[in-house]
Amino acid sequence: MTVSSNEAPAQSGFSLRALLIRQEFILFVITIVGVLLLATQSDKFLTVDNILNQGRLVTEVALVALPMTLIIITGGIDLSVGSIMGVCAIVLGYSWKNLGFPLELAIAFTLVVGLVAGLLNGLFIVRLGLPPLIMTLATFALYRGLAEGISQARSVRGYPDWFFEMGQKNFMSYEKGVPNQLIIVVIAAVIVGIILARTPFGRGLYAIGNNEMGARFSGIPVFLYKLVIYSFSGFMAGMAAWIYVSRVSTTRSDMGTGLELDAIAAVVIGGTSIFGGSGTIIGTVIGLILIQLLKNGLALSGVKGDSTTIVVGLVLILAIVLNNFIQNPPEWFKRRFASS
Amino acid sequence: MTAILELESISKQFPGVKALNDVRFESQAGEVHALLGENGAGKSTLIKVISGVHKPDTGTMKIEGMPVHFDNPRQAQLQGIATIYQELSLYPELTVAENIFMGHGMRRRMGPFSVLDWKAMNEKSLELLTSLNIHDLDPHRKVGALTVGNRQRVEIAKALSLNARVLIMDEPTAALTEADVVRLFEIVRLLKQRGVSIIYISHRLQEVFDLADRVTVLRDGHYVDTKPVSETSEDDLIRMMVGRTINDLFPKLPSEVTHEVLEVRDLCCKPLTKNVTMTVRAGEIVGLAGLVGSGRSELAQVVFGITPAESGQVLIEGKPVQIKSPAQAMELGVAYVPEDRGTQGLVRQMKIRENVSMAVLSTLMKGIFVDNNAENDLADKTIKQLSIRAYSREQVVNKLSGGNQQKVVVGKWLASKPKLLIMDEPTRGVDVGAKAEIHRLISELAQQGLGILMISSELPEILGMSDRILVMREGEIVAEYSRAEATQENIAAAMMSDAVRNMNNQRKLSESSKV
Amino acid sequence: MTASTHSNSGAASKKDGGFLSSLRGFFGSQEGILLIVIIVLMVAVGTSNPRFLSQTNLKDVFAANAYIAVAALGVSMVIISGNIDISSGALVGVLITLSGNLAVGLADAGWPLMLVNIIAWVAPLIGGMVIGAVNGFFVAYLRIPAIVVTLGMFSILKGGLILVAGGNTIYNLPEGYTIAQQDWLGIPSTIYFMVILTIVVFLWLRYSATGRSIYAVGGNAEAARLSGINTRRVIMITFILNGLMVGICSLMLATQFNQIQATAPPGLEMFVITAAVVGGVSILGGTGTVLGSTLAAILVKTIGSAMVFINVSPYWLKAVQGTLILVTVLVDVLRRRRQSRQ
């Protein structure tokens, strides 16, 4: 798996022209256009109810897309987030129903399991030098296998009412309020975004993505940072599991299937280079909105649920081609729009 | 002796730099022709033109009198030009025979198909190796499992399999052991006898005198001269390469040498640090000389915490410490300007400001966030102090010249206010003007009380700058000279010892050497 | 599992030297170990539960799952060249649907039966190669990492399939269509496919220049380029061939029962990658043989079947697969690191 890092500048300087061809800006424009289009297509679209509901639906992907951004910035990838979510969902149900944990403990345990699953990824990647693609491909299979094995295809139901607060209710239980999980997502996005942009940790991640050896030689604790981001990824997948189970009131071993696709697509569409070294949380957020928008639009025009992946796949590939184009423009483009 | 290769008026321009300027070069069958020049003189561009990797902007190339023109490396290979680069071009998971014949396999017919004939290739590989007096290499072995010396021999056999008339070797002895160097020389002489023309690039002047028949010197992309080795001397060559006498280059200022900053006792770390004991004092410049592969950078990286020591002691200002990471080293006042500034010293896609602050970012904080003002100030100060030529602190480091990039790396480490500054090849790939500036800077730093350990492969630099000179060979410190008693001869001798002198003894060594 | 210092790319090491030493070389290699493990496993489970060795069960283990080994041939080539393909499952779904619908549609339209069947058999092969070419184009010429291209392609194909066919079952397949159900000379036809294709691909990789160059591109792309190998063309070829193999796999799967489920067989791509990796195709590229991947496909299926017969829940099979991949990759990475330290 040879992935070369590109030589383009990590973050372009400020100039109107540079702003215009930044991926985030283009996306933003596309998003606005998309919103307008869909609003004219269906009158059910631009209602507060629908928008908030979409926010509820996008939570799981959003939660794992945040650490995924960090991971891809460092030049890595995490294919196992969907499987971690699956095994966490199962663990939640299993530890409550079969092991008799009090539900609060089961939830906490689930989060710990997610963290440990991510930590395992990180350890093998850092200590044993396994390429992230390969390690997370193996755990993609392994964790899903554990989910199937532990659950034996049985689902767990019958949770107490308070459990559904998180997934199904709104903030302070307003009838037309903001869904609880959306608040969590927004807070998480803000925190992670600030950390990425304004702290030495964030700066260090960009350095690792551009030149890991150079970062190490500069005293940046590369191994530690990597352990942190992969563990964080697992933890968020655990959170996603908790919220999802709370929303759909049941646990099944195939939960989270395809989560990695959506998360990676959101990150890449948001302007993060798949080769590492650049990207922002804002971009990822816009990417998430765009994808959810697409899914919503498709659903409103009667397209069957799972087939929305066709669009996500297309958009993913288009986004990467676009990203490549921006990072390594061909000669004819450079001559016309020479950037700083 | 007939001229095999003739180049005339070759020029090659890259964005921002003219690598070759009206260069001429000619080599004959059966000779070893050394190609000398400082870094950036144009040697590697020239050989890439010869081997078809680059197309020259102007000029002509002739092989045995016939004009040729290469669009890609394969065409050059077909004309009998083989190149062995420093980073060997091999497939570690494939066997010796597979490596030798990849891209031009031997075939036979099997029914209607033309298939690869492995039996023939294995036999031929053995034949090629034997003809080079290599009897200890099995064509079925995976190349990845071989030592560096053996891998190089596979590359040479590969060149032979292409019926090379011209063999270009770029710094072939850089990563070899003594015994391997001896065997290499034997092979080169064998090839010479067979009429192969060998173009040999090396920084080790001694090798030029031991092996080469003629030597061509390039300087700053220009052709200087070609002389028979017998009619020149090291000083002569240095003067041709550098254009100045040694003294001009190294403005050494006097400084007061005081307490010990670094002491290392019996430091060991596999594979290349063996029982190293040495000291560096404040205000002192200690030069560390040695061939590539002698363990100098490895020693630096042990002290700096990249590869922590397995045994032995490290003392900083008299206090025993255990350095397990670069961050720790920094805290203790140790800084390391690495050998390869592109991959180790800088993050090239980032700006000057970001690179300068990279090591000390945690000290430029406002609460939990980075203090942008403090960071900007540091960058501006550094640019001014080191006379870094750039548009602004926001310029991406990749766009700077080699000399300015090196200054950014030095600036980064000066920001950590070190007590001990280890510099690994501080002026490699730096133009002569910036070189002098960096040397002056090093002198000033010593004057200000830093202890400096300077690793360098350029003997004149070592001699010109150091107060004391240590010589490393194969992981150990084998000699120490004061500024007064050091000469190029005794340092070079210590670096290479009896390796090249006494051929007969070394033949015994090579027979028992590992495969 | 892999301990030998001899090339695991199949070339050279077996022919020379005495018969005994080459025998030893075989059994020390990944392929040999796999064969031994398969035999041991079968004996062990067979003694504890003799029904495991019954003809119907063996037929199930070998014949009914031969299609996986065929797909593994394709993905092996892609992995050897330094890339990866996780879209096989979705592609298979699309191709079997294509084949089935063509067969039923053309037969209903009154076309001659022989022609209908031939078209329905060939269509998945062509379809596979076309998709393979698309993947190859993005990876080789637009330089987009294979993981992303095939991840995207996977979701496009899967989504597209649901959109178009929505999980239907295709009935009323024309007569003569289901060749995978036939026995030729007493051996199930699928076994012929598996064995012959394995041998052909193995020979091609070992004895043809293009086949060898796949190892070069995967082992050291830069060196390959300097040797004059057209790396882009080679990568394109591996993806097209992979598409062909997936096409043949689809053919085998489509013609196996009297109806076709128009969905992507779940978990197929992981199964196929597991077979390749456990079979000795290093996921880091540059080495491995398809003999190994076929044996590994058989091994994993044997384990799956064995689990049923010794009363371990089949729901643990995926976990076993994941562990196998992890262990194999771990051993491979550690071996390479130890080697490069010399």
Looking at the fold, whether B384 and B451 belong to one and the same domain comes out as: no
Looking at the fold, whether B299 and B428 belong to one and the same domain comes out as: yes
Looking at the fold, whether B39 and B131 belong to one and the same domain comes out as: yes
Looking at the fold, whether B212 and B300 belong to one and the same domain comes out as: no
Contact between chains at C12 and B77 (C-beta distance less than 8 A): no
Looking at the fold, whether B159 and B279 belong to one and the same domain comes out as: no
Q: If we measure between CA atoms, which residue out of C10, C40, C37, C38 comes closest to residue C25?
A: C10
> Looking at beta carbons, which residues of chain C come within 8 Å of B95?
6-7, 9, 11-13
Range of lowest pLDDT (A100-109, A276-285, B267-276, B368-377): B267-276
Which amino acid type is present at position B510? S
* Smallest Cα distance from B117 to chain C, Å: 7
DSSP string, B271-299: TTEEEEEEEEETT-EEEEE--TTSSHHHH
| Residue B17 exposed, middle or buried by CB count within 10 Å (0-12, 13-18, 19+) | middle
**ipTM of this complex prediction, to 2 decimal places:** 0.81
Q: Which residue has the tokens 């996500």?
A: A312
Taking the C-alpha atoms of residue C96 and residue B8, their distance in angstroms, rounded to an integer, is 64
C 239-268 residues inside an 8 A Cβ radius of A: none
pLDDT of residue B499: 41
Looking at the fold, whether B174 and B187 belong to one and the same domain comes out as: yes
Taking the model in full, what pTM does it have? 0.82
By Cβ distance, the residue of B330, B350, B394 closest to A210 is B350
Residue ending a domain, among B373, B392, B417, is B417
Range of lowest pLDDT (A85-89, B56-60, C265-269): C265-269
Residue ending a domain, among B417, B445, B463, is B417
pLDDT band at residue C19, thresholds of 50, 70 and 90? Answer: low
Looking at the fold, whether B107 and B24 belong to one and the same domain comes out as: yes
Taking the C-alpha atoms of residue B494 and residue B513, their distance in angstroms, rounded to an integer, is 22
A 273-302 residues inside an 8 A Cβ radius of C: 274-275
> Looking at beta carbons, which residues of chain C come within 8 Å of B147?
342
Taking the C-alpha atoms of residue A284 and residue B365, their distance in angstroms, rounded to an integer, is 27
Beta strands B17-28 and B197-201 are unpaired
Q: Which residue has the tokens 């070339």?
A: C11
pLDDT of residue C10: 45
Using the predicted structure, report yes or no on whether residue B203 has a pLDDT greater than 80: no
Using the predicted structure, report yes or no on whether residue B409 has a pLDDT greater than 90: yes
* Smallest Cα distance from A260 to chain C, Å: 10
| Residue A325 exposed, middle or buried by CB count within 10 Å (0-12, 13-18, 19+) | middle
Using the predicted structure, report yes or no on whether residue B427 has a pLDDT greater than 90: no
By Cβ distance, the residue of B336, B343, B368 closest to A213 is B343
Shortest CA distance from B359: residue in chain A: A218
pLDDT band at residue C333, thresholds of 50, 70 and 90? Answer: confident
Q: Which residue has the tokens 């170990």?
A: C33
Name the residue with higher pLDDT: C30 or C92.
Answer: C92
CB C197 within 8 A of CB C248: yes
Question: Which chains sit next to A, with 3 or more Cβ pairs under 8 A?
Answer: B, C
Angle between helices C189-207 and C231-254 (to 10 degrees): 170
Residue B371 lies in domain: 341-417
The 3-state secondary structure of A277-293, one letter per residue: CCCCHHHHHHHHHHHHH
Domain spans of chain A?
58-281
* Smallest Cα distance from B91 to chain A, Å: 15
Looking at the fold, whether B105 and B127 belong to one and the same domain comes out as: yes
The 3-state secondary structure of chain A, one letter per residue: CCCCCCCCCCCCCCCHHHHHCCHHHHHHHHHHHHHHHHHHHCCCCCCHHHHHHHHHHHHHHHHHHHHHHHHHHCCCCCCCHHHHHHHHHHHHHHHHHCCCCCHHHHHHHHHHHHHHHHHHHHHHHHHCCCCHHHHHHHHHHHHHHHHHHHHCCCCECCCCHHHHHHHHCEHHHCCCCCEHHHHHHHHHHHHHHHHHHHCHHHHHHHHHHHCHHHHHHCCCCHHHHHHHHHHHHHHHHHHHHHHHHHHHCCECCCCCCCHHHHHHHHHHHCCCCCCCCCCCHHHHHHHHHHHHHHHHHHHHCCCCHHHHHHHHHHHHHHHHHHHHHHHCCCHHHHHHCCCC
pLDDT of residue A9: 42
pLDDT of residue A226: 97
pLDDT of residue B16: 63
Using the predicted structure, report yes or no on whether residue C305 has a pLDDT greater than 60: yes
Range of lowest pLDDT (A55-59, B70-74, B252-256, C286-290): B252-256
Which amino acid type is present at position B29? A
pLDDT of residue B500: 31
> Looking at beta carbons, which residues of chain A come within 8 Å of B345?
214, 217
A 210-249 residues inside an 8 A Cβ radius of C: none
Mean pLDDT, all residues of chain A? 84
- Using a pLDDT cut of 90, give the percent of chain B over it: 33
- Residues B177-205, mean pLDDT to the nearest whole number: 87
Shortest CA distance from B412: residue in chain A: A218
B 229-288 residues inside an 8 A Cβ radius of C: 271
- The CATH number for B472's domain is 3.40.50.300
pLDDT of residue A176: 64
Range of lowest pLDDT (A91-105, B323-337, C116-130, C279-293): C279-293
Domain count, chain B: 3
Using the predicted structure, report yes or no on whether residue C175 has a pLDDT greater than 90: no
pLDDT tens for B105-149 read: 888 887 777 888 889 999 999 999 988 888 888 899 888 888 888
Looking at the fold, whether B249 and B313 belong to one and the same domain comes out as: yes
Contact between chains at C159 and A310 (C-beta distance less than 8 A): yes
Range of lowest pLDDT (B45-49, B378-382, C165-169): C165-169
Whether B515 and chain C come into contact, CB under 8 Å, resolves to no
pLDDT tens for B292-330 read: 667 898 999 999 999 888 888 899 988 899 999 999 999
Contact between chains at B326 and A210 (C-beta distance less than 8 A): no
Range of lowest pLDDT (B173-177, C197-201, C279-283): B173-177
pLDDT of residue A237: 96
Whether A307 and chain C come into contact, CB under 8 Å, resolves to yes
Residue ending a domain, among B394, B417, B440, is B417
pLDDT tens for B453-503 read: 999 877 778 888 899 999 988 788 888 899 888 887 777 777 765 443 333
C102-136: burial string, b at 16+ Cβ within 10 Å, e else? bbbebbeeeeeeeebbeebbebbbebbbebbebbb
Which residues neighbour C259 within 8 Å (Cβ) at sequence distance 6 or greater? C169, C170, C171, C173
pLDDT of residue A22: 67
Range of lowest pLDDT (B212-221, B250-259, B371-380): B250-259
CB pairs under 8 A between A and B: 79
Mean pLDDT, all residues of chain C? 84
Using the predicted structure, report yes or no on whether residue B511 has a pLDDT greater than 70: no
Residue ranges in chain A modelled with pLDDT below 50: 1-14, 339-340
Contact between chains at B95 and C215 (C-beta distance less than 8 A): no
Looking at the fold, whether B361 and B460 belong to one and the same domain comes out as: no
Using the predicted structure, report yes or no on whether residue B215 has a pLDDT greater than 90: yes
Domain spans of chain C?
64-265
Task: Measure the CA dihedral B448/B449/B453/B459, to 10°.
Answer: 50
